[in-house]
Structure 1
Amino acid sequence: MFGNILSDAEIIRLRDSHLLTLEPFDVKRLKIAHYKLAPRTVWTPVTTIDGKPSKRQEHNFEDEAQFVFQPNAYHLFEVEETVLLPDGVVANFVPVSEFALRGFSLVAGMLDAGYGKLAGRTQKLFFGVKNLLDEKNMFDRNFGLAHMSIVSLTGASLLRQELSKAELGRLAGRDPERWRRANDDGVFYPQ
């Protein structure tokens, strides 16, 4: 078994006991087995002169509830909520159904146990959103962004994951910031 998806009551219990941070929290976005995340800011991915990935802010949903995508455009969406997961808990994401109806696609991953703090700073959560249409497309903040399911692995049998020397070598060759982000509690790095 791959753990248990937390119910609405369990999510509230974890929040109330300060084991899970989900702020700001709107009980109207809490469903039986997920929480609907909202967008805060739209960014455009860019490459700096030295070839490093970066981003440029395009839109703030606090100022205007709608954002117009150009045809086939791709943007990064910063999530309004701050999410900090305790040990033994992970999160998965599914796009809101409005995306399929409106011609948008969501690029999302998974949050590992312990996600939310890195080097003493709160981590921001980003998703990629693509306009799949060959015409302009209106994104409305009220669509929401993604449904976050929170999965508890506590009590589940877990194997410690180790990287081979070849995998370590490939990771070590990445830029230092990327290496720091990859070096989390999800994988054991032998000394």
Structure 2
Amino acid sequence: MIGNLMSNSMILELVEEDLLRIDPFDKRLLQLANYPLTAARIIFWKEKSDDKETHDLVTAKKDYIFQPHEYAIVTVHERIILPDGIVGRFIPMSGLIEKGFSLTAGKLDPGYGDEGEEIRFGLCNMRDRPNAYDKTSPLAYVEFFDLRGLRLAEVQTTGYDELIKVMRKNQM
């Protein structure tokens, strides 16, 4: 139905028609109504500084150890580009609960990623002790909603939206 959560068969159909791009995509990972996202890099602040460093989960031999209550930015391995009328929403994987992590997520609009922008989340160790995060740890799912058959008003981006886009582009 128009405007509802898309099922796995609807997602697969759009991917096969190259209308919805998920790269890399493995149809065996497709869930009932969502697709899992895996962490690629952890961007963290140096101690007592605004400077950032990166821990590459793809090439690293060691887990990233979050300090108690440490917050970091996590980029995902997958690149997703949505067609007009399809929007995405992120859901934290439940495995984060058991591991003591909290995930801050936004939304995914059509066109995001066209210029190489990465999907990013905020990840925080909620525990009072160091906590390891590795590339096999669960991160998030993305759900898709099809709004193509609905009457939609034009959406204007704000100066803040453009500022965030430039900041992310400069950090790639």
TM-score when normalising by structure 2: 0.83
Counting only pairs closer than 5 Å after superposition, residues 18-167 of structure 1 correspond to structure 2 as 18-45=18-45, 55-64=52-61, 66-117=63-114, 121-161=115-155
Report if the CA contact (8 A) 1:40-1:62 is conserved: no
Q: Residues 30 and 132 of structure 1: is their aligned pair in 2 closer, same or farther, counting only changes over 3 Å? A: same
Report if the CA contact (8 A) 1:75-1:128 is conserved: yes
| Residue identity in the other structure for 2:44 | T
Report if the CA contact (8 A) 1:106-1:128 is conserved: yes
Cα separation, 2, equivalents of 1:89 and 1:76: 25
State the shift of 1:92 in Å. 0.2
State the shift of 1:161 in Å. 4.4
Look at both structures and tell me which one has the larger radius of gyration over its CA atoms: 1
Report if the CA contact (8 A) 1:76-1:128 is conserved: yes
- Give unpaired runs (5+ residues) of structure 1: 182-191
- Give unpaired runs (5+ residues) of structure 2: 167-172
Q: Which has the higher contact order (CA 8 A, sep 6+)?
A: 2
The CA RMSD over aligned residues, in Å, is 2.8
Q: Residues 130 and 36 of structure 1: is their aligned pair in 2 closer, same or farther, counting only changes over 3 Å? A: same
1:13 aligned partner? 13
Q: Residues 179 and 99 of structure 1: is their aligned pair in 2 closer, same or farther, counting only changes over 3 Å? A: closer
State the shift of 1:148 in Å. 0.4
Cα separation, 2, equivalents of 1:59 and 1:155: 41
Q: Alignment partner of 2:110: what SS? A: coil
Report if the CA contact (8 A) 2:7-2:32 is conserved: yes
Cα separation, 1, equivalents of 2:129 and 2:164: 38
TM-score when normalising by structure 1: 0.75
Cα separation, 2, equivalents of 1:30 and 1:65: 28
| Residue identity in the other structure for 2:40 | R
Cα separation, 1, equivalents of 2:66 and 2:164: 33
Report if the CA contact (8 A) 1:34-1:150 is conserved: yes
State the shift of 1:134 in Å. 0.8
Report if the CA contact (8 A) 1:65-1:142 is conserved: no
2:4 aligned partner? 4
Report if the CA contact (8 A) 1:65-1:141 is conserved: no
Q: Alignment partner of 2:136: what SS? A: helix
Q: Alignment partner of 1:5: what SS? A: coil
Greater Cα offset, 61-70 or 72-81: 61-70
